Amino acid sequence: MNEPIKLLQQYINEANNIVFFGGAGVSTESGLPDYRSAEGVYTTMENENIDPKKLMSKRFMMEKPEVFFSHRFQAETPLKPKPNAAHQYLAALEKSGKSIQIITQNVDGLHYKAGSTNVVELHGNHRRFYCMTCGTEYAYETIHRDEQNIPRCPLDNGIVRADVILFGENLKPENLVKSKQLISAADLLIIAGTSLTVNPAKNLINQFKGNKVVVINKSALEMNLTADLFIKDAVGTTFSQLTI
């Protein structure tokens, strides 16, 4: 166990209330792409002269649903990757009795799949699909698509969408309030697999008043943040070296 890992282990062992704030980089080792790296989803779109903020917005979905769902079809499919070492460690840590709260920007549900229960999904999830007109919920396998590949509600022909936050939409107020409360009460904040470029999520860490801040990421953060420990490595690789 190298020195940074030893220090992270010490911080975790000594902490009374941990908050893990994670982004897309937490799930890349499960086979899911991130967004803003050189090979990320947004970067790839921008390289093809596609504006992700336009194409992945609620406005575009409503104005051109046939184009939106053509591009989004694969992303709308329920994800089937398996939790990696990071998800598994955090779930095991909670099961051991440690106070660990997870705030994630991911919509893949892998923290729940691993067994964690204290999870705030800031950007929603791909487990719930609902009609935007009547609110009826559907399992993905039962969703009907019209001739333009648009998911439709058979009750009123409304658009059926995943319960995820699109560009142009606000985060759910209850998730923001809860996240602020959790971070404010923590004595150890672990920020992992995120570049902290997205508002208002990135501003949540300003609520932290605790002792230690740890950053685990493959690249430096794009914002000024004083961390007690920075580990430049994959998140799963890092957590696979820890013990409960």
Active site residues: 123
Contacts of 35 (CB under 8 A, 6+ apart): 24, 41, 42, 43
Phi, psi angle pair for 209, to nearest 5°: -125, 10
Alpha-helical runs (H) found in the chain: 3-14, 41-47, 52-55, 58-63, 65-76, 85-95, 110-114, 173-185, 235-239
Identify the CA nearest to 235 among candidates 9, 62, 26.
Answer: 26
CA 174, distance to chain mean position in Å, is 17
Phi, psi angle pair for 124, to nearest 5°: 85, -160
Contacts of 72 (CB under 8 A, 6+ apart): 56
Full DSSP string of 92-136 = HHHHTT--EEEEE---S-HHHHHT---EEETTEEEEEEEETTT--
Cα separation of 163 and 18, whole Å? 27
